[in-house]
Amino acid sequence: MGTKWVLKATVQKAVSLMPRSQRLNRRLQQLGGRLALGEATVRQRLGWAGHHLRTFSELGGAERLTPGFRVLELGSGWHPLVPLAMVTAGAGEVLMCDLEDLSDEELLAESIDHVIASADSGELAEHLPVVLADRVDMLRDARSSLASTGRDATLGELGLVLCPGDVRRLAPDAPPDLFVSNTVLEHIDPPVLVGILEAFSAMSVPGSVMSHLIDTCDHYLYVDDSISAYNFLRFSERQWRLIDNGLQPMNRLRIPQFRELYEAAGVPVTREQRLTGEPGDLRGVPLAPPFDTMDPADVACLAAWFDTVF
């Protein structure tokens, strides 16, 4: 059994109990070199943006994917790659929603540079269903003036709107056409998630589309490849409360449980696409309750897209 994840969990638990924990965590990530954007991460994020946009076109109607559409992203994080990709596809406004404002001028500059480079190489067009040349030029102009105009003004020029705080209290000026998130829902407490889904439903209009990527594996796998993707399912609820932290919590919900939360919020799951994981992968994993009595196929599923048409 690996020890890297134990160290990571211990550090995160300690940091989560300190004031300004997210800022302190960012500093630690910088020192460890984990904030730098690698090419694989950029490709992954742009791929996610492309999936959201194709879902928007497929479920909402191709005519919706015209310049000026409005997007709300839950959990934009440090690098706004997905919002910037949305801008190149014609988004008129992207609401970037997080509990805290995690980005800054340096991270924005790095993100813009990567999106421009992917546009110039042709890779962006491979990921997105549409890339508008004038929007890429807009990114170039914004990047060249970023140092003089500052982050907030640059975000405004691009139609990116920072929305720190509880998204359940957000009152957008106009209803979003597309709601998206990427590996975020697995970090939210179930009652809060129900409230968020209810809020998104209230913000929507008929024809609005929602697209969420849910990653249900043990995220400590990403720092310790000696453990299994199901490692955190070995622990009882009481044990997991002692291990889990407020910095990057993991609710450990399996796909049917997410479906139940959607139902509790009165939000339909129009399309569910499961990714990776087979019952045989659980062999040798001592599952704790309630996972030991669930359908192995549900426990083994490691990711899924949940798409909704309001």
Q: List, for residues 247-293, the tens digit of each pLDDT value.
A: 899 999 999 999 999 999 999 999 999 998 999 999 999 999 999 99
pLDDT-wise least confident of 29-38, 60-69, 167-176, 260-269: 29-38
At residue 21 the predicted structure's pLDDT band, cuts being 50, 70 and 90, is low
Arithmetic mean of pLDDT over the chain: 93
For residue 23, tell me if it sits in a domain. Answer: no
Quick one: tokens of 289?
């309750």
pLDDT for 19: 74
The count of domains in the chain is 1
For residue 69, tell me if it sits in a domain. Answer: yes
Are the beta carbons of 251 and 26 closer than 8 angstroms? no
Task: Please name the residues in contact with 244: beta carbons below 8 A apart, sequence gap of 6 or more.
Answer: 13, 250
For residue 226, tell me if it sits in a domain. Answer: no
pLDDT at 36 over 80: no
Instruction: State the CB neighbour count (10 A cutoff) for residue 199.
Output: 18
Write the single-letter amino acid at 48.
W
- Rounded Cα–Cα distance for residues 298 and 304 (Å): 11
Q: List the CATH number of the domain containing 99.
A: 3.40.50.150
pLDDT at 14 over 90: no
Are the beta carbons of 215 and 258 closer than 8 angstroms? no
pLDDT for 1: 55
For residue 185, tell me if it sits in a domain. Answer: yes
pLDDT-wise least confident of 217-226, 231-240, 288-297: 217-226
Percent of the chain at pLDDT > 90 equals 83
User: pLDDT tens digits, residue range 87-127?
Assistant: 999 999 999 999 999 889 999 999 999 999 999 999 999 99
- Rounded Cα–Cα distance for residues 290 and 253 (Å): 10
Q: Where are the beta strands (DSSP E) in the chain?
A: 70-74, 93-98, 160-164, 178-182, 209-215, 271-275, 303-309
Are the beta carbons of 83 and 76 closer than 8 angstroms? yes
For residue 221, tell me if it sits in a domain. Answer: no
Task: Please name the residues in contact with 54: beta carbons below 8 A apart, sequence gap of 6 or more.
Answer: 129
**Exposure string for 228-246, b = 16+ CB within 10 A, e = fewer:** bbbbbbbbeeeebeebbbe
For residue 88, tell me if it sits in a domain. Answer: yes
User: pLDDT tens digits, residue range 199-223?
Assistant: 999 999 999 999 999 999 999 999 8
DSSP 20: T
pLDDT at 175 over 80: yes
pLDDT for 13: 80
pLDDT for 251: 98
Print the domain residue range for 207: 37-216+253-309
For residue 234, tell me if it sits in a domain. Answer: no
Task: Please name the residues in contact with 292: beta carbons below 8 A apart, sequence gap of 6 or more.
Answer: none
